[in-house]
Amino acid sequence: MSNTEKFTQTIQEGYDVEGSFITLGGGMVDGESVPNTFVNLPLKTLNRHGLIAGSTGSGKTKTLQLISEQLSAQGVPVLLMDIKGDLSGIGAEGADHEKITERHNKIGVPFQKGKSPVEFLTLSDEKGARLRATVTEFGPILFAKILELNDTQSGLLSVIFKYSDDNDLPLLDLKDLKKVIQYAGEEGKEKLEADYGKISTASTGVIMRKIIELEQQGAEKFFGERSFEVEDLMRKEGNQGVVNILRLTDIQDKPKLFSTFMLQMLAEVYATLPEAGDMDKPKLVIFIDEAHLMFNEASKALLNQIESIVKLIRSKGVGLFFVTQNPVDVPESILGQLGMKIQHALRAFTAKDRKAIKTAAQNYPESEFYDAAELLTTLGIGEALVTVLSEKGTPTPLVHTLLQAPKSRMGVLTNDEIDAILGQSKIIEKYNEEIDNESAYELLSKKIKEAKDDEAEEKVTKKSSSKKAAAPKEEKSAIEEAMNSQVGKTVMREVTRGLLGALGIRSTRRRSRKSGWF
């Protein structure tokens, strides 16, 4: 048996799929395509997550596009992080080209033009349906990890959330949280310390500065109403899954905001979806492009949180794919959980680069047909080393793959084309409405003002009606102390008469709908 025949048998056995699958491309050996060696990815193992890596210009973005459009065609909704702004073409048909025809003839699969239903989303000023979440939905634990607080500061933040919950003060946006923190360190400090323990002014100052730092990266646009609902990421149009493209071209210099969003999104998906068990295909697949932005400035606590969610979320039928230039961008604890790996070319310009390539090669199964470390530097554009999980959950043989071309446009949409898609959106009107309901900021501001007005009126009344001698200095001091205490009592008494119901850390949305926040 020749080397080519042996290779063909190995690939056919390793990538034979009985259930639903998508075809990445065809196998190659000794630099040549081999007929009838289709590299298939079983849909039922996509919730075991994956990695798409490769140097700039190696073709990894088109691989992401290829997988996304095939998932959509199979009825699986997709969420894409479009940081470079080059994924909008999924919403338009591709074009015939002699090089594409030649590539597909080598693979043995005819090229067919196509497009996917697309929804544009945004965190910032890009066009699309705006993604938001309330502060309460994060909860004190997650928020403390994002702000990188120590134990003392985290405990105080928990007190702030507890106080807001107990006193019907909705924490919807960052100005709500800052207002309650300010109140805890000033006007309401005495009352909070009586009910919840010592309040450190130094800690409230640190938390406030951390929040301001988050604001400077544009987080005030993310926190607020209306909260985005996970169900709107899982829509279909006919038999096709909707490809949700989150436009993030203006967020590359805001890694903390990106990490904050991704962690909240994954936590919300996990908390919302029921346990799914083994499924024929995933409920949702999320592609995180430029994944290094998520990890580079993440604290150890934040990385631990991400690792936990990656481990758990697959049980909800959700697949995660990290897209980055080098596998070393992804922490080993997370990299080890990625069942599918697609590695495009890596470039070695320095000794450090060569060491990174050797490390990357060790992430793949050994093969009698390839020297992975050597091949990684010679892969052409649109070629990749691939290994996936079979339907039985075992790694498939490593295969040098000539990848299919995407059926959709391999270029961006024009502004007019994007506007046309936005004009047909079924959710943009729902989420782009500006909402600023009465919440902690307004409630506390009003109550503090009322309490101070009452205090001032009481002083005027006492001064005009009293003809008695001035009270001794000791008595005057006692009166002032009582009056100051009354301010706190008035504020707290009035706050507890708020119109909104108490909030729960993880059930904000359900309660908020009943309370009329939306």
Determine the Cα–Cα distance for residues 380 and 345; give it in Å rounded to an integer: 7
Instruction: Show which of 376, 403, 426 is a domain's final residue.
Output: 426
Same domain, 192 and 335: no
Handedness of CA 187, 192, 193, 194 (dihedral sign): positive
pLDDT at 98: 93
Q: Which domain holds residue 398?
A: 3-132+225-426
The domain that holds 407 is classified in CATH as 3.40.50.300
pLDDT at 453: 62
State how far the alpha carbon of 142 is from the alpha carbons of 104, 134, 264, 277, 506, in Å: 47, 13, 8, 26, 11
Same domain, 92 and 38: yes
pLDDT at 187: 81
Same domain, 144 and 95: no
Amino acid at 28: M
Determine the Cα–Cα distance for residues 446 and 495; give it in Å rounded to an integer: 9
Same domain, 349 and 495: no
- If one counts every other C-beta atom within 10 angstroms of the C-beta of residue 298, the result is 22
pLDDT at 511: 38
Instruction: Find, among 138, 158, 171, the residue nearest to 444 by Cα.
Output: 171
pLDDT at 475: 42
Same domain, 292 and 333: yes
0.85 exceeded by pTM: no
Q: Which residues of the chain have pLDDT under 50?
A: 467, 471, 473-518
pLDDT at 458: 62
pLDDT at 384: 96
The token duo for 369 is: 């047909």
pLDDT at 497: 30
pLDDT at 463: 61
Rounded to whole angstroms, the maximal C-alpha distance in the chain is 117
Instruction: Find, among 117, 24, 33, 34, the residue nearest to 78 by Cα.
Output: 117
pLDDT at 451: 61
Contact 329, 54 (CB under 8 A): no
Determine the Cα–Cα distance for residues 54 and 56; give it in Å rounded to an integer: 7
pLDDT at 517: 33
Amino acid at 64: L
Instruction: Show which of 406, 426, 446 is a domain's final residue.
Output: 426
Instruction: Show which of 426, 459, 492 is a domain's final residue.
Output: 426
